[in-house]
Each structure stands twice: as C-alpha cells, then as structure tokens.
Amino acid sequence: MNNCLFCKIVNNQIPCHKVYDDENVLAFLDIDPLAKGHIVVIPKKHAENILDLDDENLVNLFLAIKKITQHLKNKLNPDGFNIGINMRKYAGQAVEHLHAHILPRFKGDGGGSIHSIVHCPPKEKLENILLQVAFVD
C-alpha cells in the first residue's frame, strides 16, 4: 500500500525502533508506549485486518508474537501481559494495517484486563445469541 504507515516502515521509508525482524514479520517499540516494552507486531505483507491476511502469514504473525512475548518475559520480568488486536476504526485501529500490541504489565500499573475495554452487555439471553453465532446447530 502506497500510503500505509506500516508498509513504509517495512520498506525502510520511515524509521522505527526495531526489536524483531524476520522474513514475514516486523516488530518495533510503539511510538507512544503505554508501558515499558510496549511492542507493535506487524505482518510484512499488507493486510488491513485479521480477516484479510492469509493463514500462512497469520500463523507466522502469531508465532512471532509468542517468541517476542517470551523474550520480553525474560528481559523485563513483567507480572503479566495484554496482547491485543484492534480491528477497524470503531475498535480503535488507528493504522489500517493489521498489527498486534504486546503490553508488558506490572503490578500497580493502573491498567485493566480485556474486560475493561467495553461496557455494553447484551440484553438478549445467551441462548438467543448462541443461535446467531454458533458454528453448529
């Protein structure tokens, strides 16, 4: 993509603080970190979101996330991690190139869990929702 910020980073048109680089994946420090060691992990192949990336590159992305998380665990010794993907504008995706955030968490850092992102519980019964989303009958 010509105007994609992350594609420009992949193509060395924009500098980054690179922490991991292989044939398929690039990871760098977030330019506006929420925690020490906050890393952005991207596939080198452009895909707007997780549904647009082919399975092989998706596997490569998640294997890299695992490797980077283990490395951060060894180097920073955090108390935990949040790993997340914002998909599309209304979920907070600021760059239209698939990316995952790895956030090391430290006791007393003031952050929350994935459950603190949205506060809009459905009014429908779970059985009705299940009928809409289940893969099987």
SS3 for 42-106, per residue?
A: EECCCCCCCCCCCHHHHHHHHHHHHHHHHHHHHHHCCCEEEEECCCCHHHCCCCCCCCEEEEEEC
Host domain of residue 97:
5-133
Q: Is residue 75 over pLDDT 80?
A: yes
99 a catalytic residue: yes
- Kindly name the residue from 17, 38, 97, 99 that is annotated as catalytic: 99
What is the per-residue pLDDT for 5?
97
What is the Cα–Cα distance from 67 to 85, expressed in whole angstroms? 17
Number of domains in the chain: 1
> What integer is the mean pLDDT of 61-78?
98
pLDDT confidence of residue 137: 64
CATH number for the domain spanning 117: value is 3.30.428.10
pLDDT for res 67 = 98
Reply yes or no on whether the pLDDT at 1 is more than 90. Answer: no
